Amino acid sequence: MKSFLPIRIGSLLILFAGCKQNEPAEVKPTTQDSVAVFILQKQEIRKQLSFPAELVPYEKAELFAKVNGYIKEMKADIGDKVSKGQVLAILDAPEMLSAYAQTGSDAQLARSRYRASLDAFQRIAQAAKVSGTIATGELERSRNQMLADSAAYESAKTKALTYGQLKDYLVIRSPFSGVVTQRNADPGSMAGNNNPKPILVVENNSQLRVRIPVEETYTHAIPDTSVISFTVDAQPDKIFKAKLSRKTGAVSKETRTENWEYIFNNEKRELSSGMYANAVLQLGRPEQSLAVAPGAIATTLERKFVIRLRQGKAEWVDVRTGFNSGDKIEIFGSLSAGDTILQKVTDEIKAGSPLIPKKMAH
């Protein structure tokens, strides 16, 4: 009997091992990672941007000679302050002056002829009142001569006035009060319509136009204030202010920018035209916009999108971006305030994937 004991114990162990192998393996439940989400809300969008700007004079005139002649006298030089109507240069054109004198004499001669024929016509007309004294043809001839002399006189007067106007062009005057910034001629220099350079350039720098080329993206943004701050390289430690004056209302095809113009009061002559400046604008939208953190937007070669959680599943929503303030990016698309959006987005989260939201973030 003792010899059968080990055999029976071995059989029991084999039988127990076979039963364990036939038991079904334990199935562990699959777990799904939760994702951080937030509720999309409308916000006020504000952005501070720096733009390059140019300072240009409020008024600028390039003065050319309207008639051919020589510079007789220069009465202004660069840096001179001039007033409106002040004589800046005098030209000499002997041929034109001679023609002007001739037209004056011609007008006087035509006037004398007209007065003589008018007097003769009036005498004949008076005499013709007595029947049979003056022939009808004689009266008509006298009348026609008077009308012809009258027309010749008017033509001579017009010609004399024209040359008188040309004579006035020999004197070059300042069109407005300002400063002479260029001088390109000296006494004795030839002046006329063929000269490529102006004789003088006058600028009104009591006010300066601060012109800012604003990128197309921001052309419909509303500045927080009509006054901007700007600096120039010549005085980097000083901040200047300028007031909004106008916008061009059109985007340049070449630069895709719109010019905004601000006016700077330069009565103290602190700045000069032609300077470049760095202007700071505070831009915003007239109404609140939807905005998300940068991580909530995914960008691929084909699209830019956010992921909305709807009925427990991921939904890709294409968006266009607007202002980027660093921590917030303005977005536009088929979205509404109150939508649940993923905080961190990658294209690995496929559309239609089931998601479990974490604690809501605002």
- CA 310 – CA 333 distance, rounded (Å): 16
| Banded model confidence at residue 25, pLDDT cuts 50, 70, 90 | very low
**163 or 361, which is more confident:** 163
* pLDDT at residue 131 greater than cutoff 90: no
CATH number for the region 94-169 comes to 1.10.287
**pLDDT in the model for residue 4:** 44
CATH number for the region 36-43+288-361 comes to 2.40.420.20
**pLDDT in the model for residue 285:** 83
In CATH, what class is 65-90+172-198? mainly beta
| Domain limits, the chain | 36-43+288-361, 50-58+205-284, 65-90+172-198, 94-169
- Model pLDDT for residues 136-185, shown as the tens digit of each residue: 778 788 888 888 888 888 887 887 777 667 778 888 999 999 999 999 99
Q: Which residues of 7-42 are buried (b: 16+ CB within 10 A; e: fewer)?
A: eeeeeeeeeeeeeeeeeeeeeeeeeeeebebbebee
CATH number for the region 50-58+205-284 comes to 2.40.30.170
**pLDDT in the model for residue 82:** 96
- CA 217 – CA 221 distance, rounded (Å): 8
| Banded model confidence at residue 252, pLDDT cuts 50, 70, 90 | very high
- Model pLDDT for residues 263-321, shown as the tens digit of each residue: 999 999 999 999 999 999 888 888 888 999 999 999 988 899 999 999 889 999 999 99
